[in-house]
Amino acid sequence: RKEVEQDPGPFNVPEGATVAFNCTYSNSASQSFFWYRQDCRKEPKLLMSVYSSGNEDGRFTAQLNRASQYISLLIRDSKLSDSATYLCVVSETNTGNQFYFGTGTSLTVIP
């Protein structure tokens, strides 16, 4: 069983649409959660950390459900520049240990 599972998509949505990505993780001891964004042939870049209480950054909202071991990312008012692969990332400790990556969800925003 994979540590982190994501729907690979692809998601093709029109500009202005709202889109949601989901992710589940297998280790209940996981403590740190992130969404990273990876553009084609580029390195992953942090989009946002995911806090237990949920958090919002502009058009992006992340939610964590520890009981269900589930993480979500909501993107409102999609822009063309949001087209990328979104990586769900889970870490088991808060002390700089390894990250477990999902395989990523591909998003294409269509004009």
Interface contacts to another protein, rule CB under 8 A: 32, 34, 41-46, 49, 87, 91, 93-104
Q: Cβ of residue 78: shortest distance to another protein, in angstroms? A: 23
CB 72 within 8 A of CB 20: yes
Q: Which is nearer to another protein, 19 or 90 (CB)?
A: 90
Give which of 52, 60, 62, 58 is closest to 88, Cα–Cα. 62
Q: Which is nearer to another protein, 78 or 86 (CB)?
A: 86
Q: Cβ of residue 111: shortest distance to another protein, in angstroms? A: 26
Q: Which three-class secondary structure state does DSSP give residue 110?
A: strand
The strand pairing partners of 19, in sequence order, are 75
Q: Where are the beta strands (DSSP E) in 29-78?
A: 32-38, 45-49, 55-57, 60-65, 70-75
Q: Cβ of residue 80: shortest distance to another protein, in angstroms? A: 23
Q: Which is nearer to another protein, 83 or 99 (CB)?
A: 99
